[in-house]
Amino acid sequence: MIEFPAEGDWRHLCVDMQRVFAEDTPWHVEWMDRIREQVEAVVQRDPARCVFTCFVPPNSVEEALGAWRAYYRKWPMMTQEALPPELIEVIPSLSRYIPPARVFRKSVYSPWQHGGLHEILRKEHVSTVVITGGETDVCVIATVLGAIDHGFHVILIEDALCSGRDATHDAALELLSGRFSTQLQVCDTATLLGALPSHSALQLARPQDQDAG
């Protein structure tokens, strides 16, 4: 049974469901397509309450900061100067919900790094974040831990998450559900949709695109 806090609103953080991971690139996540239907069901339920995060690489290897430079030396073909810009965008089946859904761009695994997302959600009186997307053991786990640090109640949708590695996907879910059980709930899509509270439609007078930088 999924319980929402009595006070505060909820938002859906859809993590990095981007063409660069869904299509034939070196970062392709093979089973992202398998969760697309479940992710879309959550988005479709209330698009105005959805925030799509997008991972944006630096323009070049030289522009990467610190240890990220070594990372992009391994992946120079994934910098913006080498990558078609449309691959950074949300996959077409989900991008049709923008707007009213919004996009939050980030340059690191966590969307909380620069404080902008946290500030937006607090101004909107959000207390709960529902999380879907990928990869479970990279950007999703960073999103979950940051949300917990900021005091949000987290609901993780296990059949709407994906990874390039089954073993670390399973280990990440086991870690999160076992160690953070007072701050996090795990359920499937059908259970979430049956438990979502009724709220009036949102009218957000904010730009559709937010930037973490």
Residues 125-141 pLDDT 10s:
999 999 999 999 999 99
Q: Given this model, what pLDDT does residue 6 score?
A: 73
Mean per-residue pLDDT, 27-33: 93
Residues 54-77 pLDDT 10s:
999 999 999 999 999 999 999 999
Judge whether residue 210 has pLDDT over 70.
Answer: no
Q: Given this model, what pLDDT does residue 87 score?
A: 97
Look at residues 96, 91, 86, 116 and name the one whose alpha carbon lies nearest to residue 35: 91
Q: Given this model, what pLDDT does residue 199 score?
A: 62
Q: Given this model, what pLDDT does residue 166 score?
A: 86
Which tokens go with 137?
Answer: 């053991």
Model confidence at 213, pLDDT cuts 50, 70, 90, reads very low
Name the CA dihedral angle for 109, 138, 3, 200, rounded to a multiple of 10 degrees. 40
Mean per-residue pLDDT, 7-28: 95
User: Nearest 5°: phi and psi at 74?
Assistant: -75, -30
Mean pLDDT of the chain, nearest integer: 91
Q: Given this model, what pLDDT does residue 1 score?
A: 76
Mean per-residue pLDDT, 26-46: 95
Burial of residue 29, with CB atoms counted within 10 A of its CB: 0-12 exposed, 13-18 middle, 19 or more buried: buried
Look at residues 94, 88, 101 and name the one whose alpha carbon lies nearest to residue 18: 88
Residues 86-114 pLDDT 10s:
999 999 999 999 999 999 999 999 999 98
